């Protein structure tokens, strides 16, 4: 036994930094899982409220109970960017966990629609805030070789959270479910207490010694790690010694590269949020019943599609290092469009005894659109410069959730007024046109360090002064 320990100890010690990356990714993904629960809960909450004699149900509030969370997510995302850049990526998550947990308790004791909306608003706001924070935290501490895989796990966790909310919410009284849904938040809080802050954030704030220690704990001391650390220190040393003014932030925010990054993000999330995949999470049973009538069990199809979303997200994680994300995104977009067209034709022609064809189209659509979601969010933590990475990620999340709010609010009206065929046609059209534009402007970031990506996107012009330092580099990229 002693000899075995002597052999294993150096190997385990040498891989300790990898385990810390995994643990940090797991902790942040727990918050994404909690966000997925927020997404999916209304699909099973609203049917329970209809039959709960102790709750004053009013169908007028249905769409607001569902859509107020995406609206709050937008507000939380904007707040999150400033918090992430100000207090840190890890500390930002720790702070946000407190109101996130409180929001579920408020919903758990709600006895009227007003209190329910308050709880939904708080959990939605925290979902939006932690989404950006956790993605940036994972992106900054992960090895470039593993970062693509790590950044996909929060998206997979969201899908798992949706499935958990549907299962627990279906078979458990809704007030009990609200209390159970605090568990991921509490577990994440406990894990983050034992982890360090993002090394790149520490270096950007001039905390060189802390940054080096954190970097080595998360990335080890190999040759490639030392090279990246040296580059990061050199790039941040002068910047850390200066005070970042509001004018500096404005210079970056109004620069052409930043505008291009925001435009890219807008198109990404138009494709993702208006292809309908996330909206279905809010109204799964209702949409499936409307689409397929009584030919299938709507709840069972909901669970099947939830499972498919998880499988799709995990598959993307497994092959993330081997597949170019830009090409994969475009291929998935085109496939999503084609399958939606097939679903529309099946619903229009309504061939007798061939409902399985429509269900198959729906299943493939769910899988492809879920892949789009995972890929799109992986870009958020990569295409903004370090100085405003939190702000950029927060703005990106806000854009995403505004688009989701619009989709969640208007989709039921489109479905009931114009029919499900028009609804799916809208999803297909948006997906197709956004993917065409993205095929020209979406960057390929797989396997590249964050500094390399920043340098390529925010490079200075040749005519600029060669002695320009990093603090003004982004200002010059206008």
Which two structure tokens, joined as six digits, stand for 260?
A: 């291009």
pLDDT-derived band at 14, boundaries 50, 70, 90: low
Residue 5 confidence (pLDDT) above 60: no
Which CATH number fits the domain that encloses residue 257? 1.20.1250.20
Whether 411 is in a domain gets the answer yes
Whether 214 is in a domain gets the answer no
Residue 2 confidence (pLDDT) above 60: no
396-452 pLDDT, tens digit per residue, is 777 887 888 888 888 888 888 888 889 999 999 999 998 888 888 887 777 676 667
Q: Which of 35-44, 170-179, 373-382 has the lowest mean pLDDT?
A: 373-382
Whether 226 is in a domain gets the answer no
pLDDT-derived band at 161, boundaries 50, 70, 90: very high
Residue 393 confidence (pLDDT) above 60: yes
d(CA 127, CA 188) in angstroms, rounded, equals 14
Whether 80 is in a domain gets the answer yes
What does the pLDDT read at residue 473?
34
Q: Stretch 164-184: mean pLDDT, rounded?
A: 92
pLDDT-derived band at 121, boundaries 50, 70, 90: very high
Residue with tokens 């650390």: 229
What does the pLDDT read at residue 184?
94
Measured torsion, CA atoms of residues 290, 294, 299, 303, in degrees rounded to the nearest 10: -90
Whether 32 is in a domain gets the answer yes
pLDDT-derived band at 13, boundaries 50, 70, 90: low
Q: Find out whether 328 and 312 touch, Cβ atoms under 8 Å.
A: no
Whether 25 is in a domain gets the answer yes
- Specify the pTM: 0.71
Encode the chain in three state secondary structure.
CHHHHHHHHHHHHHCHHHHHHHHHHHHHHHHHHHHHHHHHHHHHHHHHHHHCCCCCCCHHHHHHHHHHHHHHHHHHHHHHHHHHHHHCHHHHHHHHHHHHHHHHHHHHCCCCHHHHHHHHHHHHHHHHHHHHHHHHHHHHHCCHHHHHHHHHHHHHHHHHHHHHHHHHHHHCCHHHHHHHCCHHHHHHHHHHCCCCCCHHHHHHCCCHHHHHHHHHHHHCCCHHHHHHHHHHHHHHHHHHHCCCCHHHHHHHHCCHHHHHHHHHHHHHHHHHHCCCHHHHHHHHHHHHHHHHCCCCCHHHHHHHHHHHHHHHHHHHHHCCCCCCHHHHHHHHHHHHHHHHHHHHHHHHHCCCCCHHHHHHHHHHHHHHHHHHHHHHHHHHCCCCCHHHHHHHHHHHHHHHHHHHHHHHHHHHHHHHHHCHHHHHHHHHHHHHHHHHHHHHHCCCCCCCCHHHHHHHHCCCCCCCCCCCCHHHHHHHCC
Residues spanned by the domain of 129: 14-195+243-457
Q: 34, 209, 217: which is closest to 126 by C-alpha?
A: 34
If one counts the domains in the chain, the total is: 1
Q: 69, 30, 65: which is closest to 182 by C-alpha?
A: 30
What does the pLDDT read at residue 276?
85
Whether 359 is in a domain gets the answer yes
21 vs 281, higher pLDDT = 21
Whether 467 is in a domain gets the answer no
Q: Stretch 75-102: mean pLDDT, rounded?
A: 85
Q: Find out whether 431 and 357 touch, Cβ atoms under 8 Å.
A: no
Q: Stretch 370-382: mean pLDDT, rounded?
A: 78
What does the pLDDT read at residue 1?
42
């Amino acid at each position: 036994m002693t000899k075995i320990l002597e052999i294993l100890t150096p190997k385990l010690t040498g891989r300790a930094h990898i385990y810390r990356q995994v643990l940090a990714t797991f902790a942040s993904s727990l918050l994404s899982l909690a966000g997925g629960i927020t997404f999916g809960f209304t699909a099973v909450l609203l049917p329970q409220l209809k039959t709960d004699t102790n709750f004053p149900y009013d169908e007028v509030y249905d769409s607001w109970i569902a859509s107020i969370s995406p609206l709050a997510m937008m507000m939380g995302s904007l707040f999150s960017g400033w918090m992430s850049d100000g207090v840190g990526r890890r500390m930002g998550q720790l702070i946000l966990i407190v109101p996130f947990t409180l929001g579920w308790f408020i919903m758990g004791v709600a006895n009227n629609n007003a209190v329910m909306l308050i709880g939904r608003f708080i959990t939605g706001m925290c979902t939006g805030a932690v989404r950006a924070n956790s993605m940036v935290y994972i992106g900054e501490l992960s090895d470039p070789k593993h970062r693509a895989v790590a950044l996909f796990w929060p998206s997979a966790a969201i899908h798992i959270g949706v499935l958990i909310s549907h299962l627990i919410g279906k078979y458990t009284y809704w007030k009990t479910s609200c209390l159970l849904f605090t568990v991921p938040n509490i577990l994440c809080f406990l894990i983050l207490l034992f982890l360090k802050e993002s090394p790149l954030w520490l270096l950007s704030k001039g905390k060189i010694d802390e940054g080096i220690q954190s970097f080595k704990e998360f990335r080890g001391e190999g040759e490639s790690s030392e090279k990246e650390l040296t580059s990061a220190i050199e790039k941040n040393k002068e910047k850390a010694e200066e005070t970042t003014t509001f004018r500096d932030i404005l210079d970056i925010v109004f620069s052409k590269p930043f505008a291009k990054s925001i435009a890219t993000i807008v198109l990404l999330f138009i494709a993702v949020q208006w292809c309908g995949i996330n909206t279905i999470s809010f109204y799964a049973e209702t949409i499936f019943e409307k689409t397929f009538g009584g030919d299938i069990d709507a709840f069972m199809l909901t669970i099947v599609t939830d499972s498919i979303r998880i499988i799709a997200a995990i598959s993307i994680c497994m092959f993330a290092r081997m597949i170019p994300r830009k090409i994969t995104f475009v291929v998935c977009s085109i496939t999503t469009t084609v399958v939606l067209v097939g679903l529309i034709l099946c619903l229009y022609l309504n061939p007798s005894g061939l409902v399985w064809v429509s269900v198959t189209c729906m299943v493939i659509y769910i899988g492809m659109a879920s892949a789009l979601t995972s890929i799109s969010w992986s870009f958020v933590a990569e295409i903004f410069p370090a100085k405003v990475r939190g702000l950029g990620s927060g703005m990106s999340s806000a854009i995403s959730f505004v688009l989701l709010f619009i989709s969640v609010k208007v989709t039921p009206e489109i479905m009931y007024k114009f029919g499900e065929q028009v609804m799916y046609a809208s999803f297909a059209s948006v997906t197709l046109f956004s993917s065409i534009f993205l095929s020209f402007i979406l960057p390929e970031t797989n396997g590249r360090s964050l500094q390399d990506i920043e340098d390529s996107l925010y490079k200075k012009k040749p005519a600029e002064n060669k002695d320009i330092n990093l603090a003004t580099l982004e200002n010059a990229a206008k």
